[in-house]
Structure 1
Amino acid sequence: MKKDNFSWKTETWIKPYLLKYKWMFVLALFLGTLMFLCAGALMFYAGYTIDKAATHPANILMIYTSIVLLRATGIGRPLFRYLERLVSHNWVLRVTSDLRLRLYNIVEKNSSTVGGEYKTGTLLSLLTEDLGHLQNLYLRTIFPAILSYIVGFIAVCLLGWFSWPLAGIVAILLLFELLVVPLVSLLTQAGIRAKEKAEKSALYTEYTDQVLGAGDWQVSGRQQDFHNQSKVTLKSLVKHNKKSGEFDWARDFVLEVIFGLIAVALLFFTNKDLTYNQDAANYVGAVVLALFPLSDAFIPVAQGVEEWHTYSDSVKRLNNLKSEEDHLPTQEKLAPNAAKLLQLKHVSFTYPGEKEAIIKDFSLTLTKGQKAALIGPSGAGKSTILQLVLGDLKPDAGSIELNGINVRALQDERAQLYSVLNQEPFLFNTTIYENLQMANPKATTDEMMSVLDKVQLGDYIRSLPDGLNTAVQEAGARFSGGQKQRLALARVLLQDTPIVLLDEPTVGLDPLTEQKLLNLVFAVLKDKTVIWITHHLQGMKFIDQVLFFKDGVVEMEGNPHTLFKENKQFHQLYLMDQGLL
């Protein structure tokens, strides 16, 4: 991945989403502010009510107003707390959803590029870790910090209405509480966290090497060295963890002391200015008590800012992540029923970073309803052909056309022209009905049952208590391998595209189930154009053309029936594949 320098001017993974959902963010801040104001007011009215009641008022009506306000703020605090959490989490989940969609689109565009800039491990790390860090950045750093500044500003203004000297002192103390201490914490912990990260990485490497080489350690008689190798790194890591924990304790202590000084300042000024009569004195305890709930707004800021070290690498990686430019030609229209001729003419393709082409001068012509099988070892380029046909990849030489139109100019029509049946079809953790509806949102229940009958699942689905509303479970766990492929085939039939790509759909099935599934697949797809990737010759009776790949080159091709009669090599391969030799 590129090591571009991070800049807030070019930042694209935080600011745009703050702006997109700004009003929801503002609402969350407003509710959070109301929650802290209610918390402070609750303590204020509680202190005032207690003090007022202790002076033996003439009757209950003298403190009735404060009792009503006490109840109101007591109800308001948890209510606004709940609403703030509801809105802020809804906001961050919307942001995260957009982030995941954006990242998925980048991953999807880069996943087909084996020699591309981003490795699979990097992309998985981005998906699983970095977005989680970004979500925490919003919830634990950005949101609490802004909320604390708003609450602090309001508190200083309210105190200014009472006493500007007091407001000035509190403002200075809050400046240390909310800016100086968090900044010192951020800078101090930077070095410690960097060392912890390096030591954890070194420890992981050492443990991996030890486990993989355990046999060598034992054979060489160096068992003690095996136990001692990581002790130094582990000891250093423990030392830095302890140092980090001690700093956090000291920082939190300082924050509590500063907060205590704010309380002392309040107590001093209220005793100085509010003791001229009994009624005014009732406000002394109330004002000081109103301060304490605000610690929940002020204290966590330093911890949240300190965690920027955890999030910063994720933010940098995400901002350096760029999607591959499609550079698609002008899109054209092609009706599915008009797609009658698929042609690959002298196609060659080399993955970025590779010296040798994986596909070399490949040609294939299929008219409507014809079927071709691509056979060869792993890495021969069979799946690359499917990606080229779909338009995911652009050939270095040659052309791929459907009815004379470049397939990359038909990407807007892709879902209506192509359907794919993979080795392991993904079934979503929802009902059978909804899994089928994904292929054709307009499909009726009768149409779904019709295609299920065609793939020989209709009777089984009807026998289930909930029928089409039966839960498929995660990754289709409810069904066997053959049943999952039949359900995926039903989706293909509902999609009703003129071209179907089969990427080894029978892998992992026993021979009997495999043959039954192949018979079914080619029976229901008899009118479709099919390109089938397979690793052996079972099912060749359904094929019009078979092409054998090796090192990106077609070594043998032709009609399987003709090859069986006229080509000795194919004849022997077929007999061996069927277990007849």
Structure 2
Amino acid sequence: MANEPKQDRLLLTKQDTWVRPFFKKYKRLLALVLFLGLMTFFAGSALMFTSGFLISKSATRPWNVLVVYVPIVLTRAFGIGRPVFRYTERLGSHNWVLKMTSDIRYKLYRSLESRASQSKEEFQTGSILGILAEDIEHIQNLYLRTIFPTLIGLLLYVLIVIMLGFFSIPFALMIGLLLGILIVVLPLTSVAINRAKIYRRKYKRHVLYNQLTDSILGVGDWQYSGRYDEFLTRYNESESAVREEDIKLNRYTRFQDLVIQFVFGLIVLAIFFWAGTYFGDKGGSALNWVAAFTLAVFPLMDAFSPISQGVTELPMYEDSTKRLHDLPPVEDEEDVIISGQTDVSFDQYDVCLEDVSFSYQSKGKVILSDFNLTIPTGQKIAVLGKSGTGKTTLTKLIRHDLVPDKGTITIGGHAVSDIADMSPYVGVLNQAPHLFNTSILNNVRLGNVEATDEEVLQAIKQAGLQPVVDTLPNGADTVVEEAGQRFSGGEQQRIALARILLQKVPVVIVDEPTIGLDPITENALLTTVFDVLKDKTVIWVTHHLMAIEKADRVIFIEEGAIKMDGSPQELKQTNEHYRHLLSLDYN
């Protein structure tokens, strides 16, 4: 497809930071898993070997029962050993996968957290869902279905060739060639034939994820517009495209399984005729070994047949690794401490931007140009401007969620780039704070997980939530439901405000928290906000001039620079543009 991205081969290379590092981190567990896997197939093959010998020997009427006693004991030992080794190998391999998955999810969280303010702009919800639901699962399967079986199969391959070499080097080489078809030729051929098909299928699946997630989030609008059937048609077409790719791959898989069965049949026949010839020359009881060697081959099919399918799926794993590598890079814990100061001492919290310029490269638009602004400690500043002029971008630069193209940004004389964690210094009350499906207490405690219940309740009271809490049957232990559906927009904002109060930060960014609220609720919320934050520096981004008199200072941003600056009273007296904005907002 024309829009399919070109795939870079990162899997297991030095540049791979999502799969390869776990080999070193859990190398002892890896060695244990490989040993247990090898012993599983050894016990299975040895079980068939001793069983074959025992059956053949018993059929020739052994002169003494002791002749078959040892094979009987070994049959029991290998019969018990095989499931024990299999069970412990599964425990070990899944323990590996669970450890690895936990690390990957933690790394994924840190990666997205590093760009949390931009995640909704840079990543579609369906893409994140695809990573969580499919890509991480693919990385799990990479170990369980490809790496572990392939390594175990290669070890068995070497052991089999060496052991047969003690009997006959030419025959060992012949079996090595036949097994090489299963573990080298078939997998590489399959990858060459199916690589493009696998990429197409995975690409179409991610298109389906994005389309389905986007449509479900907007399912109400589909219904309101009377185009619900169109949504179903589009989804069915996308799903059919994925199914077509599955059919093509499944067709080749069935053909590949047939080839594997055929090659194994040749190996069984080769072993049978070789053993008959080799031991037939020795005569007598030596023929009992023919059944032993022949039956020993059958369990090995379970070791070699998964290799081809596992290697065939490598392109899918490469694509998952590529998608993970496209996420923002994550520094090691040690690097985080080195790159930023963990403990910064402040005497005051002046916010200062000097000659700051910033542009979004993807949009090719200059947002701020040689921008200068100083906000003294404790000042309440309102930031006005048209949509897209850089108001929210300004706050993200102050929080160091964005990095300026040039210029310096400091808080209390410290460059924000030198502060490893901004959360103790800058809090944000934004347009749509997320409330988790847990109690009010737990949602507020997010601001400070070490806070006591009394401190949390005090923050709830300060935020003006006490009258609401008093009406609830379980008080502050009431579950807010998913995304805070139990509460109104104003009440949700008050819960978010309580978080900030509990966080006890000196600088608070208030980014248009009253959008969608009625004028009475808006005024009440802003009154509470400025009342409880009276001893803090407040940077208030707003379109409305409701309660603007509560700000100490008002600036208006236009074309990347400050076009208006002064107190509300001064601007009302001297600035025609400001009076025009007031008239629009109050009339």
Q: TM-score range, shorter-chain basis?
A: 0.7 to 0.9
Q: Secondary structure at the match of 1:299?
A: helix
Q: What is the root-mean-square deviation in Å for CA atoms of aligned residues?
A: 4.8
Aligned to 2:411: 402
**1:35 counterpart = 2:45:** no
Among 11, 15, 19, which residue is 1:11 paired with? Answer: 15
Query: What secondary structure sits across from 1:412 in the alignment?
Result: coil
Are positions 1:524 and 2:498 aligned together?
A: no
1:573 and 1:236 map into 2 onto residues whose CA distance is 53
Deviates more, 1:95-104 or 1:496-505: 95-104
Distance in 1 (alpha carbons) for counterparts of 2:249 and 2:490: 55
Specify the alignment match of 1:537 in structure 2: 545
**Residues 196-224 of structure 1: CA distance to partner in whole angstroms, max 9, x if unpaired?**
899999999xxxxxxxxxxxxxxxxxxxx
CA distance in 1, matches of 2:292, 2:167: 14
What code does the residue aligned with 1:533 have?
V
Of the three residues 347, 364, 368, the one matched with 1:359 is 368
The alpha-carbon deviation at position 373 of structure 1 amounts to: 1.3
Alignment of 1:143 onto 2:148: yes
Aligned partner of 1:421 in structure 2 is 429
| Residue among 548, 565, 569 paired with 1:557 | 565
Residue 235 of structure 1: how far off its partner (Å): 12
Name whichever of 543-552 and 98-107 sits farther off. Answer: 98-107
Q: Can you list the C-alpha shifts for 1:374-416, whole angstroms capped at 9, x where unaligned? A: 122321110111022223444456543333333333x235222
Asked if the contact 1:374/1:547 (under 8 Å) is kept, the reply is yes
CA drift at 1:361: 5.0
Structure 1: how far apart are the matches of 2:125 and 2:452?
Answer: 41
Name the residue aligned to 1:379. 388
Measured against aligned partners, the alpha-carbon deviations of 1:209-265 in whole angstroms (never above 9, x if no partner) come to xxxxxxxxxxxxxxxxxx9xxx9xx99999987765544333221111111222223
Q: CA deviation at 1:486?
A: 2.5
CA contact (8 A) 1:347 1:400 kept: yes
Q: 1:335 aligned to 2:345?
A: yes
Residues 302 and 395 (structure 1 numbering): CA distance in 2 closer, same or farther, change over 3 Å?
closer
**Are 2:291 and 1:306 aligned?**
no
Residue 299 of structure 1 aligns with an amino acid whose one-letter code is S
Partner of 1:87: 95
CA distance in 1, matches of 2:246, 2:445: 52
Aligned equivalents of 1:388 and 1:299: distance in 2?
55
Which residue does the alignment assign to 2:221? none
1:470 Cα deviation from its structure 2 partner: 6.1
Question: What's 1:296 paired with?
Answer: 302
- Residue 298 of structure 1 deviates from its aligned partner by 1.0
Deviates more, 1:378-387 or 1:484-493: 484-493
Q: Which residue of 2 aligns with 1:154?
A: 159
The answer (yes or no) to whether the contact 1:342–1:403 under 8 Å persists in 2 is yes
Once the two structures are superposed, what CA deviation does each residue of 1:150-183 show, in whole Å capped at 9, x if it has no partner?
Answer: 2333344454566655543322211111112212
1:213 — aligned with what?
none
TM-score calculated relative to the size of structure 1 = 0.76
Residues 356 and 372 of structure 2 are in contact (CA less than 8 Å); yes or no, is this contact kept in structure 1?
Answer: yes
Deviates more, 1:258-267 or 1:125-134: 125-134
Change (3 A) 1:188 1:54: same
Alignment-mate amino acid for residue 543 of structure 1: A
* 8 Å contact kept, 2:510–2:539: yes
Is contact 1:549–1:555 with CA below 8 Å preserved after alignment? yes
Decide whether aligned partners of structure 1 residues 179 and 500 sit closer, same or farther in structure 2, where only a CA change above 3 A counts: same
Which sections of structure 2, spanning at least 5 residues, go unmatched? 210-232
- Partner SS, residue 415 of structure 1: coil
Question: Per-residue displacement from partner, 1:494-529 (whole Å, max 9, x unpaired)?
Answer: 211110111222223344433333232222212111
CA positional deviation for 1:125 = 9.2
Aligned in 2, Cα 1:517/1:235: closer, same or farther, shift over 3 Å?
closer
Query: 2:448 is paired with a residue of what secondary structure?
Result: coil
CA–CA separation in structure 2 for the residues paired with 1:360 and 1:49: 88
The aligned residue for residue 254 of structure 1 is 259
Q: Distance in 2 between matches of 1:471 and 1:277?
A: 82
User: Which range is displaced more, 476-485 or 194-203?
Assistant: 194-203
Alignment-derived partner of residue 217 in structure 2: none
- Aligned partners of 1:194 and 1:496: how far apart in 2? 49
Which aligned pairs between 1:44-443 and structure 2 lie closer than 5 A?
Answer: 44=49, 62=69, 65-66=73-74, 68-69=76-77, 71-73=79-81, 75-94=83-102, 96-97=104-105, 100=108, 103-104=111-112, 127=131, 133-160=138-165, 166-190=171-195, 245-272=250-277, 284-315=290-321, 323=329, 334-335=344-345, 338-345=347-354, 347-352=356-361, 357-396=366-405, 399-409=408-418, 411-412=419-420, 414-428=422-436, 435-443=443-451
* CA separation of 1:49 and 1:531: change in aligned 2, threshold 3 A: farther
CA distance in 2, matches of 1:122, 1:465: 37
Residue type of the alignment partner of 1:142: I
From the superposition, tell whether residues 533 and 262 of structure 1 become closer, same or farther in structure 2 (CA, over 3 Å).
same
Alpha-carbon distance, 1:573 to partner = 3.2
Alignment check: 8 A CA contact 2:130 2:206 kept: no
Give the Cα–Cα distance (whole angstroms) in 2 for the partners of residues 403 and 99 of structure 1: 32
Task: Find the aligned partners of 1:193 and 1:55 in 2 and give their Cα distance.
Answer: 55
- Structure 2 residue 515 is matched with structure 1 residue 507: yes
String of CA shifts for 1:300-332, please: whole Å, max 9, x gaps: 212222223334455456668775999999859
Deviates further, 75-84 or 494-503: 75-84
Q: Distance in 2 between matches of 1:235 and 1:504?
A: 44
Q: For structure 1, which segment, 119-128 or 523-532, has the greater mean C-alpha deviation from structure 2 after superposition?
A: 119-128
| Aligned AA (2:304) | F
Please state if 1:451 is matched with 2:459.
yes
Any idea what SS the aligned residue of 2:420 has? Answer: helix
- Would you say the 8 A contact 2:36–2:85 is kept in 1? no
Taking a change above 3 Å as real, the CA distance of residues 451 and 72 of structure 1, as seen in their structure-2 partners, is same
